[in-house]
Chain A
Amino acid sequence: MEGSLNVLAAAIAFGVGAISPALAVGNVAGKAIEGMARQPEMAGKIQTTMFIGMALAEAIALLGFVLAFVLQAA
């Protein structure tokens, strides 16, 4: 019974923790497309910055991913 509670905690930690990074990554991509559509000549630079922004937002989801593993093992 204790083990299954750990699994539930891990699932919640990752599931809830992934909501805000998902919104953030979507926002970054959307704004980047907007920027590229307005100024196609800047597309290369915008794309580079977009990937950096996505990677930084994704880091928060990854912390949840690690936490899920830790909770499952605990």
Chain B
Amino acid sequence: MKNIIIKPTKLLVLLMFFLSVPLTATGPRVSSNILSLEKNEVFALDLPPFISTEADKNGALSEIVNAVFAEEKIENSISIIPLQSMIKYYLTQDTTLAVMGRHLGISKEDNKSLMEIPLYLSNEYYLYYKPLHAKNLEFNGKLSNLKGLRYGASSGEETAAYENAQIKVENGRTLSLFKKLKKGTVDFISMPTQSAQWILKKNFAHESKDFVMMQGGSGSVFISIYFNLKHPEGKTLAGSFKKGLQSIVTNGKYASILEKHLKNPDDVKLQLEQINKFLK
């Protein structure tokens, strides 16, 4: 057996190596630089099942946005936020690359420095809580039929039409609007069908039948990503995003993600029509 003899100089080098190792090798160290993804952060407003930390891959639209960025080989992260007021804050920051969601409260002034890229056309319906309304609420396409009632609007939603129809408006977060319906502090709300189904299943499973959808859709709203043109790379990255979106629509990824999450082939067909119209 060969004797292992280490010369003093080598020993010193080895010793210095071992002395330096424990500084970094005794366990995870918490610092913002190794854990935070601050590059190309998109701030998104919670809206299950489209955008939600509760949903697989953070929801259908989060997965689509990540797929588009990946297609263009752009690193990104999505921070999902529960409050519209925080999205409003990020809209005012030059350092924000993009925000996404529904009813973000974007003013005409804000809009001048944003580039909107629609991701999904949400067809919405009015809902009310049947046990508190012995007489069914009827919309039938006319807001005047709901005069005198109280509408639960999403924070950031444009509500002039309701006020003009003498309908009182109260704001709230998506889930809290359902709670307000049940409590009777609002009479009706407007919600994407998929969001209503998700929330009722998760939070009101035993009484989901008490939440009734009115006849006639309440309208269509785009759920979009808005690039901030004041951001140094906002315009360029918005262009890349649009190109990437075109690619994943063409290669079928957009449709397959929607199908996986929403399980509604008719809706996917409708969305493809809409997105192709936009991309033309």
Asked if A pairs with B, the answer is no
> Chain B residues in contact with chain A, CB under 8 A?
none
